Structure 1
Amino acid sequence: MASVNEVRLVDEAARLLGEHGPAGLSLRKVAAAAGVSTMPVYTLFGDKEGLLAAMHREGFRRLGAALGAVPRTADALADLVALGLAYRQAALSSPHLYGLMFGRTVPQFQPSVADREAADATYQPLVDGVARCQEAGVFRPGDPRRVALHLWAVAHGMVNLELNGQLPELGPVEELYLEALAHAGLPFAATK
Protein backbone atom coordinates (compact mmCIF):
# COMPACT_ATOMS: atom_id res chain seq x y z
CA MET A 1 0.00 0.00 0.00
CA ALA A 2 1.34 3.40 -0.95
CA SER A 3 1.80 6.10 1.68
CA VAL A 4 -0.46 9.15 1.72
CA ASN A 5 2.42 11.29 0.44
CA GLU A 6 3.16 8.86 -2.37
CA VAL A 7 -0.52 8.79 -3.42
CA ARG A 8 -0.61 12.61 -3.38
CA LEU A 9 2.49 12.76 -5.58
CA VAL A 10 1.09 10.12 -7.93
CA ASP A 11 -2.13 12.11 -8.26
CA GLU A 12 -0.17 15.29 -9.02
CA ALA A 13 1.89 13.39 -11.57
CA ALA A 14 -1.29 12.01 -13.19
CA ARG A 15 -2.74 15.52 -13.37
CA LEU A 16 0.45 16.86 -14.98
CA LEU A 17 0.53 13.97 -17.42
CA GLY A 18 -3.07 14.60 -18.40
CA GLU A 19 -2.61 18.34 -18.80
CA HIS A 20 0.83 18.45 -20.42
CA GLY A 21 1.52 15.00 -21.81
CA PRO A 22 4.69 12.97 -21.21
CA ALA A 23 7.00 15.93 -21.93
CA GLY A 24 5.35 17.89 -19.11
CA LEU A 25 6.05 15.21 -16.52
CA SER A 26 9.21 15.31 -14.44
CA LEU A 27 10.02 14.65 -10.82
CA ARG A 28 10.87 18.32 -10.32
CA LYS A 29 7.52 19.42 -11.75
CA VAL A 30 5.68 16.91 -9.56
CA ALA A 31 7.51 18.21 -6.49
CA ALA A 32 6.66 21.81 -7.40
CA ALA A 33 3.01 20.97 -8.06
CA ALA A 34 2.76 19.17 -4.71
CA GLY A 35 4.58 21.96 -2.88
CA VAL A 36 7.38 19.72 -1.60
CA SER A 37 11.12 19.66 -2.09
CA THR A 38 12.55 17.37 -4.74
CA MET A 39 14.36 15.18 -2.20
CA PRO A 40 11.32 13.11 -1.08
CA VAL A 41 10.20 12.74 -4.70
CA TYR A 42 13.58 11.38 -5.78
CA THR A 43 13.74 9.23 -2.64
CA LEU A 44 10.33 7.67 -3.37
CA PHE A 45 10.60 7.21 -7.13
CA GLY A 46 14.25 7.49 -8.12
CA ASP A 47 13.54 8.71 -11.63
CA LYS A 48 10.73 9.31 -14.11
CA GLU A 49 10.49 5.60 -14.91
CA GLY A 50 10.02 4.88 -11.20
CA LEU A 51 7.32 7.53 -11.01
CA LEU A 52 5.49 6.05 -14.00
CA ALA A 53 5.72 2.58 -12.43
CA ALA A 54 4.26 3.93 -9.18
CA MET A 55 1.44 5.58 -11.14
CA HIS A 56 0.74 2.31 -12.96
CA ARG A 57 0.70 0.34 -9.69
CA GLU A 58 -1.55 2.87 -7.97
CA GLY A 59 -4.02 2.86 -10.85
CA PHE A 60 -4.33 -0.91 -10.69
CA ARG A 61 -4.45 -0.84 -6.88
CA ARG A 62 -7.44 1.51 -7.12
CA LEU A 63 -9.10 -0.62 -9.78
CA GLY A 64 -8.54 -3.76 -7.71
CA ALA A 65 -9.97 -2.07 -4.62
CA ALA A 66 -13.04 -0.90 -6.55
CA LEU A 67 -13.70 -4.38 -7.92
CA GLY A 68 -12.96 -5.99 -4.57
CA ALA A 69 -15.49 -3.72 -2.87
CA VAL A 70 -18.37 -5.09 -4.97
CA PRO A 71 -20.42 -7.23 -2.60
CA ARG A 72 -21.16 -10.81 -3.54
CA THR A 73 -24.88 -11.55 -3.40
CA ALA A 74 -27.06 -14.47 -4.42
CA ASP A 75 -27.64 -12.82 -7.83
CA ALA A 76 -24.60 -13.66 -9.96
CA LEU A 77 -25.74 -11.56 -12.92
CA ALA A 78 -26.41 -8.47 -10.78
CA ASP A 79 -22.97 -8.92 -9.23
CA LEU A 80 -21.39 -9.09 -12.70
CA VAL A 81 -23.13 -5.86 -13.70
CA ALA A 82 -21.96 -4.29 -10.43
CA LEU A 83 -18.37 -5.22 -11.38
CA GLY A 84 -18.87 -3.47 -14.71
CA LEU A 85 -20.13 -0.35 -12.96
CA ALA A 86 -17.23 -0.45 -10.50
CA TYR A 87 -14.80 -0.69 -13.42
CA ARG A 88 -16.30 2.40 -15.04
CA GLN A 89 -16.31 4.33 -11.76
CA ALA A 90 -12.66 3.48 -11.11
CA ALA A 91 -11.75 4.78 -14.57
CA LEU A 92 -13.76 7.98 -14.16
CA SER A 93 -12.25 8.57 -10.71
CA SER A 94 -8.67 8.36 -12.01
CA PRO A 95 -8.82 9.05 -15.75
CA HIS A 96 -5.17 10.01 -16.15
CA LEU A 97 -4.01 6.88 -14.35
CA TYR A 98 -6.43 4.85 -16.50
CA GLY A 99 -4.80 6.25 -19.61
CA LEU A 100 -1.38 5.12 -18.39
CA MET A 101 -2.71 1.72 -17.28
CA PHE A 102 -4.39 0.81 -20.56
CA GLY A 103 -3.19 3.24 -23.16
CA ARG A 104 -0.08 4.48 -24.76
CA THR A 105 -0.05 7.79 -22.90
CA VAL A 106 3.69 7.36 -22.42
CA PRO A 107 4.75 5.07 -25.31
CA GLN A 108 8.21 4.30 -23.92
CA PHE A 109 6.87 3.18 -20.52
CA GLN A 110 6.93 -0.59 -20.00
CA PRO A 111 5.72 -1.95 -16.66
CA SER A 112 7.86 -4.60 -14.99
CA VAL A 113 6.85 -8.25 -15.07
CA ALA A 114 5.77 -8.02 -11.41
CA ASP A 115 3.67 -4.91 -12.14
CA ARG A 116 2.05 -6.62 -15.15
CA GLU A 117 1.22 -9.64 -13.00
CA ALA A 118 -0.34 -7.41 -10.33
CA ALA A 119 -2.34 -5.64 -13.03
CA ASP A 120 -3.48 -8.96 -14.49
CA ALA A 121 -4.79 -9.99 -11.07
CA THR A 122 -7.41 -7.21 -11.27
CA TYR A 123 -8.97 -9.13 -14.19
CA GLN A 124 -9.72 -12.21 -12.06
CA PRO A 125 -12.91 -10.87 -10.40
CA LEU A 126 -14.46 -10.57 -13.87
CA VAL A 127 -13.50 -14.14 -14.76
CA ASP A 128 -14.90 -15.32 -11.42
CA GLY A 129 -18.10 -13.34 -12.00
CA VAL A 130 -18.59 -14.94 -15.39
CA ALA A 131 -17.95 -18.40 -13.91
CA ARG A 132 -20.61 -17.71 -11.26
CA CYS A 133 -23.08 -16.76 -14.02
CA GLN A 134 -22.27 -20.01 -15.81
CA GLU A 135 -22.72 -22.03 -12.61
CA ALA A 136 -26.05 -20.27 -11.97
CA GLY A 137 -27.26 -21.16 -15.48
CA VAL A 138 -27.42 -17.51 -16.60
CA PHE A 139 -24.60 -18.01 -19.14
CA ARG A 140 -23.90 -21.11 -21.22
CA PRO A 141 -21.02 -23.32 -20.11
CA GLY A 142 -17.63 -22.58 -21.59
CA ASP A 143 -14.32 -20.97 -20.84
CA PRO A 144 -15.15 -18.06 -18.51
CA ARG A 145 -11.91 -16.29 -19.52
CA ARG A 146 -13.12 -15.98 -23.12
CA VAL A 147 -16.48 -14.57 -22.05
CA ALA A 148 -14.75 -12.21 -19.59
CA LEU A 149 -12.48 -10.95 -22.36
CA HIS A 150 -15.49 -10.12 -24.53
CA LEU A 151 -17.27 -8.32 -21.70
CA TRP A 152 -14.11 -6.44 -20.71
CA ALA A 153 -13.52 -5.35 -24.30
CA VAL A 154 -16.99 -3.81 -24.43
CA ALA A 155 -16.66 -2.14 -21.01
CA HIS A 156 -13.17 -0.88 -21.82
CA GLY A 157 -14.28 0.47 -25.19
CA MET A 158 -17.24 2.30 -23.70
CA VAL A 159 -15.10 3.78 -20.91
CA ASN A 160 -12.47 4.94 -23.41
CA LEU A 161 -15.12 6.56 -25.58
CA GLU A 162 -16.56 8.30 -22.52
CA LEU A 163 -13.19 9.49 -21.21
CA ASN A 164 -12.27 10.83 -24.65
CA GLY A 165 -15.61 12.60 -25.13
CA GLN A 166 -16.42 10.45 -28.16
CA LEU A 167 -19.72 8.87 -27.15
CA PRO A 168 -22.61 10.03 -29.31
CA GLU A 169 -25.34 11.85 -27.43
CA LEU A 170 -27.92 9.08 -27.37
CA GLY A 171 -28.96 9.40 -23.75
CA PRO A 172 -27.48 9.33 -20.28
CA VAL A 173 -23.97 7.87 -20.38
CA GLU A 174 -24.51 5.33 -17.59
CA GLU A 175 -27.64 4.11 -19.38
CA LEU A 176 -25.65 3.64 -22.61
CA TYR A 177 -22.93 1.83 -20.67
CA LEU A 178 -25.40 -0.57 -19.04
CA GLU A 179 -27.08 -1.18 -22.40
CA ALA A 180 -23.71 -2.02 -23.96
CA LEU A 181 -22.93 -4.45 -21.13
CA ALA A 182 -26.34 -6.12 -21.53
CA HIS A 183 -25.84 -6.54 -25.29
CA ALA A 184 -22.31 -7.84 -24.73
CA GLY A 185 -23.68 -10.64 -22.56
CA LEU A 186 -26.40 -11.75 -24.99
CA PRO A 187 -24.24 -14.16 -27.05
CA PHE A 188 -23.43 -16.07 -23.85
CA ALA A 189 -26.94 -16.18 -22.36
CA ALA A 190 -28.26 -19.64 -21.59
CA THR A 191 -31.34 -20.54 -23.58
CA LYS A 192 -34.25 -21.82 -21.56
Structure 2
Amino acid sequence: MSEGKEAKSDPVRATLTDAAYRLITEEGIEALTVRRLAQEAGTSTMAVYSRFGSISAVASEVSERAFVDFGAALTVAGTTDDALADLMCQGLAYLRFATANPLLYTLMFQYTSKEWATSHRKSLLQEGSPTDSVSGRAAFTAMAETVRRASPADTDETALLIHAGVVWSTVHGLAMLSIAGHLGGAHDLVARSGLVTLAAGYGVARAEAEAAFARAEKRME
Protein backbone atom coordinates (compact mmCIF):
# COMPACT_ATOMS: atom_id res chain seq x y z
CA MET A 1 0.00 0.00 0.00
CA SER A 2 1.38 3.42 -0.91
CA GLU A 3 1.91 6.17 1.67
CA GLY A 4 -0.82 8.22 0.03
CA LYS A 5 -3.34 5.36 0.35
CA GLU A 6 -2.22 4.72 3.92
CA ALA A 7 -2.89 8.36 4.82
CA LYS A 8 -6.40 8.20 3.33
CA SER A 9 -7.29 4.94 5.11
CA ASP A 10 -5.85 6.09 8.47
CA PRO A 11 -7.53 9.30 9.70
CA VAL A 12 -4.86 9.92 12.34
CA ARG A 13 -2.06 9.60 9.79
CA ALA A 14 -3.93 11.95 7.45
CA THR A 15 -4.41 14.48 10.25
CA LEU A 16 -0.72 14.30 11.14
CA THR A 17 0.29 14.78 7.52
CA ASP A 18 -2.06 17.74 7.13
CA ALA A 19 -0.67 19.33 10.28
CA ALA A 20 2.92 18.75 9.18
CA TYR A 21 2.21 20.22 5.74
CA ARG A 22 0.71 23.29 7.38
CA LEU A 23 3.59 23.66 9.84
CA ILE A 24 6.25 23.47 7.16
CA THR A 25 4.36 25.76 4.79
CA GLU A 26 3.89 28.42 7.46
CA GLU A 27 7.02 28.05 9.62
CA GLY A 28 9.51 25.84 7.79
CA ILE A 29 11.21 22.52 8.49
CA GLU A 30 12.64 23.77 11.79
CA ALA A 31 9.12 23.83 13.25
CA LEU A 32 8.62 20.14 12.58
CA THR A 33 9.29 18.21 15.78
CA VAL A 34 7.43 15.20 17.11
CA ARG A 35 6.11 17.13 20.10
CA ARG A 36 4.98 20.13 18.05
CA LEU A 37 3.37 17.95 15.40
CA ALA A 38 1.43 15.93 17.98
CA GLN A 39 0.24 19.15 19.57
CA GLU A 40 -0.90 20.65 16.27
CA ALA A 41 -2.67 17.44 15.28
CA GLY A 42 -4.34 17.02 18.67
CA THR A 43 -2.82 13.59 19.23
CA SER A 44 0.09 11.94 21.05
CA THR A 45 3.78 11.68 20.19
CA MET A 46 3.30 7.91 20.15
CA ALA A 47 0.82 8.36 17.29
CA VAL A 48 3.57 10.04 15.25
CA TYR A 49 6.02 7.20 15.86
CA SER A 50 3.46 4.44 15.32
CA ARG A 51 2.31 5.92 11.97
CA PHE A 52 5.64 7.14 10.57
CA GLY A 53 8.47 5.72 12.66
CA SER A 54 10.37 9.01 12.70
CA ILE A 55 9.95 12.72 12.10
CA SER A 56 12.08 12.36 8.96
CA ALA A 57 9.44 10.08 7.43
CA VAL A 58 6.84 12.76 8.13
CA ALA A 59 8.97 15.34 6.32
CA SER A 60 9.41 12.93 3.43
CA GLU A 61 5.64 12.46 3.09
CA VAL A 62 5.06 16.23 3.21
CA SER A 63 7.66 16.67 0.47
CA GLU A 64 5.96 14.06 -1.71
CA ARG A 65 2.56 15.69 -1.21
CA ALA A 66 4.10 19.07 -2.04
CA PHE A 67 5.41 17.70 -5.33
CA VAL A 68 1.90 16.44 -6.14
CA ASP A 69 0.53 19.94 -5.55
CA PHE A 70 3.43 21.41 -7.51
CA GLY A 71 2.75 19.12 -10.47
CA ALA A 72 -0.92 20.09 -10.40
CA ALA A 73 0.08 23.77 -10.42
CA LEU A 74 2.26 23.24 -13.50
CA THR A 75 -0.70 21.94 -15.48
CA VAL A 76 -3.34 24.36 -14.18
CA ALA A 77 -3.36 26.36 -17.45
CA GLY A 78 -4.16 23.22 -19.44
CA THR A 79 -2.89 21.94 -22.78
CA THR A 80 -3.65 23.84 -25.97
CA ASP A 81 -2.45 23.99 -29.57
CA ASP A 82 -0.24 26.92 -28.51
CA ALA A 83 2.62 24.81 -27.14
CA LEU A 84 5.06 27.69 -26.66
CA ALA A 85 2.53 29.66 -24.62
CA ASP A 86 1.76 26.45 -22.69
CA LEU A 87 5.45 26.22 -21.79
CA MET A 88 5.51 29.89 -20.74
CA CYS A 89 2.44 29.21 -18.58
CA GLN A 90 4.28 26.37 -16.89
CA GLY A 91 7.24 28.63 -16.21
CA LEU A 92 4.99 31.26 -14.66
CA ALA A 93 3.04 28.65 -12.67
CA TYR A 94 6.33 27.21 -11.40
CA LEU A 95 7.47 30.62 -10.14
CA ARG A 96 4.12 31.42 -8.58
CA PHE A 97 4.05 28.15 -6.67
CA ALA A 98 7.60 28.60 -5.41
CA THR A 99 7.22 32.21 -4.35
CA ALA A 100 3.80 31.60 -2.76
CA ASN A 101 5.19 28.64 -0.78
CA PRO A 102 8.85 29.50 -0.13
CA LEU A 103 9.36 27.30 2.95
CA LEU A 104 7.61 24.33 1.37
CA TYR A 105 9.52 24.77 -1.89
CA THR A 106 12.79 24.89 0.02
CA LEU A 107 11.90 21.59 1.70
CA MET A 108 11.10 20.00 -1.66
CA PHE A 109 14.43 20.83 -3.24
CA GLN A 110 16.81 20.78 -0.28
CA TYR A 111 15.63 17.78 1.67
CA THR A 112 14.26 14.30 0.97
CA SER A 113 16.38 12.17 3.28
CA LYS A 114 14.64 9.59 5.44
CA GLU A 115 17.67 9.77 7.74
CA TRP A 116 16.89 13.33 8.86
CA ALA A 117 16.81 13.95 12.59
CA THR A 118 17.20 16.91 14.93
CA SER A 119 20.98 16.54 15.01
CA HIS A 120 21.17 16.65 11.20
CA ARG A 121 19.27 19.87 10.64
CA LYS A 122 22.41 21.80 9.79
CA SER A 123 23.31 19.47 6.93
CA LEU A 124 20.03 19.06 5.06
CA LEU A 125 21.68 19.77 1.71
CA GLN A 126 24.00 16.80 2.22
CA GLU A 127 21.13 14.35 2.66
CA GLY A 128 18.93 12.82 -0.01
CA SER A 129 17.99 14.13 -3.43
CA PRO A 130 14.80 15.62 -4.90
CA THR A 131 15.06 13.05 -7.69
CA ASP A 132 14.06 10.44 -5.09
CA SER A 133 10.52 11.83 -5.35
CA VAL A 134 8.11 9.92 -7.60
CA SER A 135 5.86 12.98 -7.82
CA GLY A 136 8.87 15.21 -8.45
CA ARG A 137 9.82 13.13 -11.47
CA ALA A 138 6.20 13.28 -12.64
CA ALA A 139 6.28 17.08 -12.48
CA PHE A 140 9.49 17.16 -14.52
CA THR A 141 7.95 14.77 -17.04
CA ALA A 142 4.98 17.13 -17.46
CA MET A 143 7.34 19.98 -18.28
CA ALA A 144 9.44 17.77 -20.56
CA GLU A 145 6.31 16.80 -22.51
CA THR A 146 5.45 20.47 -23.06
CA VAL A 147 9.02 21.08 -24.22
CA ARG A 148 8.53 18.20 -26.67
CA ARG A 149 5.36 19.76 -28.09
CA ALA A 150 7.05 23.15 -28.41
CA SER A 151 10.13 21.73 -30.19
CA PRO A 152 10.67 20.80 -33.85
CA ALA A 153 9.38 17.31 -34.63
CA ASP A 154 12.86 16.01 -35.51
CA THR A 155 14.42 16.94 -32.15
CA ASP A 156 15.99 13.81 -30.66
CA GLU A 157 15.17 12.49 -27.19
CA THR A 158 18.46 13.47 -25.60
CA ALA A 159 18.17 17.04 -26.84
CA LEU A 160 14.59 17.24 -25.54
CA LEU A 161 15.62 16.09 -22.07
CA ILE A 162 18.51 18.56 -22.01
CA HIS A 163 16.19 21.36 -23.11
CA ALA A 164 13.69 20.44 -20.36
CA GLY A 165 16.54 20.41 -17.85
CA VAL A 166 17.63 23.87 -18.93
CA VAL A 167 14.07 25.21 -18.62
CA TRP A 168 13.71 23.66 -15.17
CA SER A 169 17.11 24.97 -14.05
CA THR A 170 16.28 28.47 -15.27
CA VAL A 171 12.97 28.77 -13.45
CA HIS A 172 14.36 27.06 -10.35
CA GLY A 173 17.23 29.54 -10.19
CA LEU A 174 14.83 32.43 -10.60
CA ALA A 175 12.57 30.96 -7.92
CA MET A 176 15.42 30.60 -5.43
CA LEU A 177 16.67 34.14 -6.08
CA SER A 178 13.14 35.44 -5.59
CA ILE A 179 12.68 33.48 -2.36
CA ALA A 180 15.98 34.86 -1.08
CA GLY A 181 14.77 38.38 -1.83
CA HIS A 182 17.52 39.21 -4.31
CA LEU A 183 15.26 40.36 -7.15
CA GLY A 184 12.99 42.68 -5.23
CA GLY A 185 10.44 44.42 -7.43
CA ALA A 186 12.21 43.29 -10.61
CA HIS A 187 10.97 39.71 -10.32
CA ASP A 188 8.32 39.95 -13.07
CA LEU A 189 10.65 41.71 -15.49
CA VAL A 190 13.41 39.17 -14.90
CA ALA A 191 10.95 36.30 -15.35
CA ARG A 192 9.74 37.72 -18.65
CA SER A 193 13.23 38.36 -19.95
CA GLY A 194 14.51 34.97 -18.80
CA LEU A 195 11.72 32.92 -20.38
CA VAL A 196 11.75 34.90 -23.62
CA THR A 197 15.54 34.76 -23.90
CA LEU A 198 15.48 31.02 -23.22
CA ALA A 199 12.96 30.45 -26.02
CA ALA A 200 14.98 32.65 -28.37
CA GLY A 201 18.10 30.67 -27.51
CA TYR A 202 16.37 27.55 -28.78
CA GLY A 203 15.56 29.10 -32.15
CA VAL A 204 12.25 30.88 -31.60
CA ALA A 205 12.13 34.38 -33.10
CA ARG A 206 12.29 36.84 -30.24
CA ALA A 207 9.12 38.63 -31.35
CA GLU A 208 7.31 35.28 -31.41
CA ALA A 209 8.63 34.43 -27.94
CA GLU A 210 7.51 37.83 -26.61
CA ALA A 211 4.04 37.27 -28.07
CA ALA A 212 3.85 33.78 -26.56
CA PHE A 213 4.77 35.16 -23.14
CA ALA A 214 2.07 37.85 -23.45
CA ARG A 215 -0.49 35.14 -24.30
CA ALA A 216 0.66 33.07 -21.35
CA GLU A 217 0.48 36.03 -19.00
CA LYS A 218 -3.08 36.71 -20.08
CA ARG A 219 -4.07 33.07 -19.55
CA MET A 220 -2.53 33.09 -16.07
CA GLU A 221 -4.36 36.25 -14.91
Q: Work out whether the TM-score is over 0.5.
A: yes
Q: How many Å separate the matches in 1 of 2:82 and 2:98?
A: 25
Q: How many Å separate the matches in 2 of 1:95 and 1:190?
A: 32
Q: How many Å separate the matches in 1 of 2:204 and 2:20?
A: 47
In structure 1, which of residues 46, 70, 73 is the aligned counterpart of residue 80 of structure 2? 73
CA 1:41–1:13 in structure 2 vs 1: closer, same or farther (change >3 Å)?
farther
User: Following TM superposition, by how much is the alpha carbon of 1:48 offset from its aligned partner in structure 2, in angstroms?
Assistant: 1.3
TM-score, structure 2 as length reference: 0.70
User: Following TM superposition, by how much is the alpha carbon of 1:12 offset from its aligned partner in structure 2, in angstroms?
Assistant: 1.2
CA 1:8–1:29 in structure 2 vs 1: closer, same or farther (change >3 Å)?
closer
% of aligned pairs identical? 28
Residue matched to 2:197: 183
Structure having the larger proportion of residues in helix: 2
SS at match of 1:110: coil
In structure 2, which of residues 128, 132, 146 is the aligned counterpart of residue 110 of structure 1? 128
Q: Deviations over 1:127-155 (max 9, x none)?
A: 1111111147xxx8352111111111110
How many residue pairs get aligned? The number is 182
2:182 is aligned with 1:166:
yes
Residue matched to 1:126: 143
Q: Deviations over 1:63-84 (max 9, x none)?
A: 1111233311111111001111
Q: Deviations over 1:14-47 (max 9, x none)?
A: 43435xx3xx531112222444433443343221
Residue matched to 1:141: 155
Q: How many Å separate the matches in 1 of 2:47 and 2:57?
A: 13
Q: How many Å separate the matches in 1 of 2:199 and 2:134?
A: 27
Mapped contact 1:66–1:90 kept (Cα < 8 A): yes
**Any unmatched runs of 5+ in structure 1?**
none
Task: Return the letter of the residue paired with 1:167.
Answer: L
Listed as ranges, the matches of 1:4-153 within 5 Å are 5=15, 6-17=17-28, 21=30, 24-103=31-110, 106-107=124-125, 109-110=127-128, 115-135=132-152, 141-142=155-156, 143-153=159-169
CA 1:126–1:10 in structure 2 vs 1: closer, same or farther (change >3 Å)?
same
